[in-house]
Amino acid sequence: MHKDRLAEVLETWEPVIGLEIHTELTSMNTKMFCGCPVEFGGEPNTRVCPVCLGMPGALPVPNQAAIEATVLCGLATECDIERDSQFHRKNYFYPDMPKDYQISQYDRPFCTDGRLDVAVEGDGVTQRIDTAELGAAEDGSYTTRIGITRIHLEEDTGKMVHVGGTEGRIAGATHSLVDFNRAGTPLIELVTEPDIRSPEEARRFAQRLRLVWLTLGISDCNMEEGSLRVDANVSIRKRGETEFGTKAEIKNMNSFKALHDGLLYEIVRQAEVLEQGGTVIQETRHWDAGAKRTSALRSKEEAHDYRYFPEPDMVPFEFSDEFVEEVRGRLPELPEAKRARFIAGYGLPPHDAMVLTSDLELAAYYEKAVAQAGNERAKAISNLLLNDVSAYLNSQGIGIGEFGASPSAIVELVTVVEDGTISGKQAKEVFTQMTASGEMPSAIIERLGMKQVSDSGAIEEVVDRVIAANPSEVEAYRGGKQGLIGFFVGQVMREMGGQANPKVVNEVLRRKLEG
Ligand code: ADP
Ligand code: ZN
Ligand code: MG
């Protein structure tokens, strides 16, 4: 599916998207309604007890830490915290849920009516088209506010493993196994308003939300392991139309790229159905990342199919103001506040602040380095992290957590370039050696005898030689071809094995050529 095709579709059609995001509270010690440990993987069916296996007569005891974590999530996304709430039973038969119901929340969830502002950088067609009303910047970037309908708490299901056929697929499997280790893991579900208008906005929202959850420390938010799962509801309508179209829900997108690509495919599919005079059916569709297409999975269940009723084994909750305020007191600095602080406190451009604060470990690394180097080097350190360090980490497929060089080493590198000990070119070499050996820059400079020559006497000697050897270029320069300065600098640097201070070389050359 091409972006070009999407661009064409978007001229006529406007996408409307709402997300439903499940997050396992992996940082909890125990499951939602029993004392079994919360951990990923493990020997199947070893972390189970009568409660999470749904044995008759076993009674649930709610996990207070999980409730507090849900309230914290609500406060972080500006939700109202409902003072009266309760759990409901959602009844259904799936083999991965031995009770035949899931304890969830229905019309009285813990958190309602929140919002999250999402910055979208201009990248062409996958963003919103009518950004003018959002006050988009010249480069096309803008911020949009996505409403959050609710956040509720429930328990996760077990996991089915289909064996004998094509790996992981029901079709062709000879039999299925079930692992209840995950059953009963505390799970929050966040539902957004249908405020999202493009696949790119959906991706940005999910990434932003993940960063908020990581900042709160409630989950590892690992999409591959399924601790963060995003389902997308999408419909399209003619531009200018105010009524929503019929939506389809896409499941099984286990990366941000899959979310983006799945939506892109589905928008174009719906446009083609409608353009050919057909109708979009309300259904659940499965994203196949390999085939790059969605396919119908099942027709959509309705709330009444689940026969929700109040969970009779637990009393309703009444949250006091003191409780909510106590939880609010635990809110850490949120991504948006941190981004603003990086701009105001370190004098960074918005883009630098955005990138540095999008990764908690990178931000912490950066702050350590600046604390040592002083604020006047804040931009130089940001440059090094966003360019050389990021390029290196990408090439190795690792995060800053696995980076071999310490913040002190980075500070030293920035300092020796700034005070002219080595040139920018030599710094690249030192950086390469540093990442390979973990040595400090000073040790590498010493070992390689890599001092930069700033002594103008030594430089003058070479400059004189270069001027004498290139009379026609000298004449051209003096005749007005100032651009030749680069040629002369190159010659001097080459003669000095790249070790001359380019600033001094420039000064001496200009003086001699013009004098
Ligand atoms: P349902 O009753 O089918 O579960 P909800 O109204 O509860 O639908 O909404 C579920 C999700 O779908 C929400 O994220 C909501 O924003 C989104 N949504 C609702 N209507 C539409 C629509 N017409 N197009 C796209 N998304 C929609
Ligand atoms: Zn248990
Ligand atoms: Mg619903």
Mark whether 493 and 461 lie in a shared domain.
yes
Residue whose CB lies within 8 A of the most ligand 1 atoms, among 191, 233, 243, 301, for a mutation test: 233
Confidence of residue 331 (pLDDT cuts 50, 70, 90): very high
Residue 30 half-sphere exposure, CB side, CA atoms within 13 Å? 15
Range of 201-215, 411-425, 496-510 with top mean pLDDT: 201-215
Please give the Cα distance from 7 to 248 (Å, whole number). Answer: 21
Residues 171, 218 share a domain: yes
How far apart CA 180 and CA 502 sit, in angstroms, is 66
Residue 261 in any domain: the answer is no
- Residues 398 and 304 reside in one and the same domain: no
Q: Which of 428, 448, 468 delimits the end of a domain?
A: 448
Contact 68, 327 (CB under 8 A): yes
444 with 467, same domain: the answer is no
User: Of the bound ligands, which one is closest to the alpha carbon of residue 49?
Assistant: 2
Residue 192 near ligand 1, beta carbon < 6 Å? yes
In the chain, the number of structural domains is 3
Is there a domain that residue 278 lies in?
Answer: no
Query: Which residue of 190, 209, 247 sits with most ligand 1 atoms within 8 Å of its CB, as the best mutation to test the pocket?
Result: 247
Measured by CA distance, the residue closest to atom 22 of ligand 1 is: 247
Distance CA 43, CA 45 (A): 6
Determine the atom of ligand 1 nearest the C-alpha atom of 282.
Answer: 3
Question: Which whole number is the average pLDDT over 90-107?
Answer: 90
Residue 485 included in any domain: yes
Q: What is the mean pLDDT of residues 251-277?
A: 94
Q: Which residues contact 342 (CB under 8 A, 6 or more apart)?
A: 348, 352, 353, 356, 357, 363
Same domain flag for 174 and 34 = yes
Whether 85 and 228 map to the same domain: the answer is: yes
3-state secondary structure of 166: coil
> What is the pLDDT confidence band of residue 27, given thresholds at 50, 70 and 90?
very high
Residue 46, pLDDT above cutoff 60? yes
Check pLDDT > 90 for residue 82.
yes
Residue-wise pLDDT for 62-79, tens only, equals 999 999 999 999 999 999
Q: What does the pLDDT average to over 194-220? A: 96
What is the per-residue pLDDT for 121? 77
265 belongs to a structural domain? no
User: Among residues 424, 448, 472, which one ends one of the domains?
Assistant: 448
Chain Cα centroid distance, residue 139 = 21
How confident is the model over 411-422, as a mean pLDDT?
89
Q: What is the mean pLDDT of residues 407-429?
A: 90
Ligand 2 centre distance from Cα of residue 56 (Å): 13
**Neighbour-count burial for 260-273, b at 16+ CB within 10 Å, e otherwise:** bbbbbbbbbbbbee
Percent pLDDT > 90 in the chain is: 69
* pLDDT attached to residue 207: 97
Residue 167 pLDDT > 70? no
- Regarding whether 488 and 433 lie in a shared domain, the answer is no
Instruction: Confirm whether 359 is domain-assigned.
Output: yes
pLDDT at 337: 96
pLDDT tens across 297-311, in order? 877 777 778 899 999
Compute the average pLDDT of residues 83-97: 91
pLDDT: which is higher, 118 or 93: 118
- Which residues, including other chains, have CB under 8 Å from residue 374's CB and lie 6 or more apart? none
**Lowest-confidence region among 173-177, 226-230, 237-241:** 173-177
Ligand 1 and 244: CB distance under 6 A: yes
pLDDT tens digit sequence for 465-507: 999 999 999 999 999 898 899 899 999 888 887 778 778 888 8
CA of 282 relative to ligand 1 center, distance in Å: 10
Instruction: Round to whole Å and give the CA distance between 155 and 40.
Output: 15
Q: Is it the case that residue 187 has pLDDT exceeding 90?
A: yes
CATH number at residue 484: 1.10.10.410
Model-level pTM? 0.87
Cα separation of 119 and 136, whole Å?
Answer: 10
Does 472 lie in the same domain as 418? Answer: no
pLDDT digits 0-9 by tens, 382-401: 999 999 999 999 999 999 99
| Token pair listed for 403 | 């980076």
- Reported as a pLDDT band with limits 50, 70 and 90, residue 8 is confident
**pLDDT band for position 49 (cuts 50, 70, 90):** very high
Let me know: does 154 contact 191? Beta carbons within 8 Å: no
CB 70 within 8 A of CB 110: yes
At residue 124 the predicted structure's pLDDT band, cuts being 50, 70 and 90, is low
Cβ–Cβ < 8 Å for 287, 297: no
Helix/strand/coil for 54: coil
Mean of all residue pLDDT scores within the chain:
91
Domain boundary among 275, 308, 327: 327
Under DSSP, the state recorded for 284 is E
Q: What residues sit around ligand 2, an ion, with C-beta below 5 angstroms?
A: 34, 36, 49, 51-52
- 219 closest CA partner among 153, 175, 285: 153
Residues 480 and 339 in one domain: no
Q: What are the pLDDT digits (tens) for 357-367?
A: 999 999 999 99
In a domain, 275, yes or no: no
Tell whether 270 is covered by a domain. no
φ, ψ dihedrals at 181, nearest 5° = -55, -40
* pLDDT over threshold 80, residue 464: yes
pLDDT of residue 432: 92
Q: Are 486 and 366 found together in one domain?
A: no
Per-residue tokens: 112: 């309602």
CA distances to 39, 110, 205, 335 from 217, in Å = 15, 19, 18, 13
Please report the pLDDT score of residue 123 as a whole number.
Answer: 59
Residue 75 counted as domain residue: yes
From the CA of 494, how far away is ligand 3's center (Å)? 69
Domain assignment of residue 466, given as a range: 456-514
Identify which of 511, 509, 512 has the alpha carbon closest to the alpha carbon of residue 488.
Answer: 509
**pLDDT, average across residues 189-210:** 96
Strand ranges in 156-282 using DSSP code E only, listed in sequence order: 159-163, 175-179, 186-192, 228-238, 248-253
Q: What percent of the chain has pLDDT over 70?
A: 95
pLDDT above 80: residue 138: no
Residue 348 predicted with pLDDT over 90: yes
Of the listed ranges 50-59, 119-128, 298-307, the least confidently predicted one is 119-128
Predicted pLDDT at 455? 74
Task: For residues 346 and 491, state if they share a domain.
Answer: no
314 and 194 in a single domain? The answer is yes
Q: Distance of alpha carbon 233 from its chain centroid, rounded?
A: 20
Predicted confidence band of residue 85 (pLDDT cuts 50, 70, 90): very high
Q: How far is CA 72 from the centre of its chain?
A: 20
Q: What is the pLDDT of residue 301?
A: 72
